[in-house]
Amino acid sequence: MTLTVDQKSYFDGLSDEGKIQWLTTNMDRIGEILEPIGPDELVKVLGLTIKRDETNKILTFLGQLSAYTEDSQLNISFNAPSSSGKSFIPTEIANLFPKEDVKQVGYCSPTAFFHDVGEFDKDKGGYLVDLSRKILIFLDQPHTMLLEHLRPMLSHDSKEITIKVTDKAEKHGMKTKNIFLLGYPSVVFCTAGMKIDEQEATRFLLLSPEIHQEKIREAIHEKIKRESDVTSYKSALSGNYDRFLLMQRIEAIKQAHITDIQISEEDAGELEKYFLEKVTSVKPRHQRDIGKVIGLVKVFALLNLWFRERMGATITANKEDIFNAYMLWDKISESQDLNLPPYVYNLYQDVFVPAYEKKYSESYGGVGAGLLQKELMKKHVEVYGRYLPDWQLRQEILPMLEAAGLITMDRDPNDKRKMLIYPTTSLTISEGQG
């Protein structure tokens, strides 16, 4: 059943408030008024509260929506300095989803997490943790120890995984407890630490909020508008028809219980060709990367399930879904391929390379063009308007860039206590150190 021409004309003529009222009493007919939606439409709605960060907010939304797939859940890791908005993006987007499906977790140990979300099962002799169709958001975690326990679940190795954790017993010291993990959630991990183990990194889409001046200015403006009159701000949001419609669309997707999202043989071949053309040589991690791209394709199809070929609980993705997925992947693929959060990769491009090029051009034949840490910190302030802690540069950023092959470090021949840093650009290799 679909709306007649007259009914559609009547609905389109309603005010936003009228449309919301109609939908509230006719939720079973939402499929009749929905239209296909893509990245541009998502940016418009998500941009009501999240300024700039277009790629980050689309990927985060799709990641959370992927919780309603059978086995194509996407995991996201936000790595960025404190106060950069890494927690704001996922928590703000989570407001669009049914509250019962979202679990936000502050700092906790692995043992505490399992106790908090699990229920003791006498028959199994352990804690049962059902995470099917759930969204887990870990806020400001200082380290990745909890992720180590969740590796099999994040990799979708099995829908039931047994984990053993140790806990203090009242009288007998340490005691081993069984944890039974069921299902696959969508996971968002937020941390101010730049380091992330390679085993975790390949299981996540690595994201970082934008920190340029224009974005921060717009975010400040939005925060003032929000905090100066909270009641009016919330009322305007709840009365926004596009936002309300997206929330109802999410609920309808959840209720549809799609169990399988297929890609045709022809489209799968095109997808493989496109992916392999983008990489110069294949790496073991690309097996997981192509899985992330396929996950994006399937979530785009799920978002538009009413406009996809459907048989029962199975829908088929189309070429538009593949195109949208690759447009997103292209924007983050370089940093993902290097196992770097975009913040660290952008730091290399915006700070390391320009600082080196300037020093190289000012030196005779490149002699002494290697960068000192204090020079990088000075350039960082010029570019980003904020101080880069010395410990973070030494302990996190430099080791990551060196492991990714983007820099080399040598002792200063004039002062062995100092390290000279060389970005591995063609200029550096062929002239600076050759």
**Segment 351-385, tens digit of pLDDT:** 999 999 888 887 765 666 788 999 999 999 998 88
Q: What angle do CA 108, 112, 115 make, to 5 degrees?
A: 145
Q: Is the pTM value of this prediction over 0.95?
A: no
CATH of domain 52-217: 3.40.50.300
| pLDDT, average across residues 316-341 | 92
Please tell me the least confidently modeled range out of 80-89, 244-253, 283-292, 302-311: 80-89
Least confident window among 158-162, 240-244, 286-290, 312-316:
158-162
Sign of the dihedral defined by the CA atoms of residues 87, 93, 95, 100, in that order: negative
Mean pLDDT of 323-332: 93
By the 8 A CB rule, do 204 and 60 touch? no
Q: Which CATH number fits domain 342-432: 3.30.310, 1.10.3470, 3.30.420, 3.30.1890?
A: 3.30.420
Neighbours of 425 (CB within 10 A): 17
Q: Between 231 and 80, name the one with better pLDDT.
A: 231
User: How high is the pLDDT of residue 307?
Assistant: 94
pLDDT class of 225 with cuts at 50, 70, 90: confident
**Residue ranges of domains in the chain:** 52-217, 258-338, 342-432
Would you give the distance in Å from CA 415 to the centre of its chain?
43
* pLDDT of residue 432 exceeding 50: no
Among 12-26, 33-47, 195-209, 372-386, whose mean pLDDT is lowest? 195-209
CA Rg value for the chain: 24
Proportion of the chain above pLDDT 70, given as a percent:
91
Q: Can you say how many angstroms the Cα of residue 213 is from the centroid of all Cα atoms in its chain?
A: 22
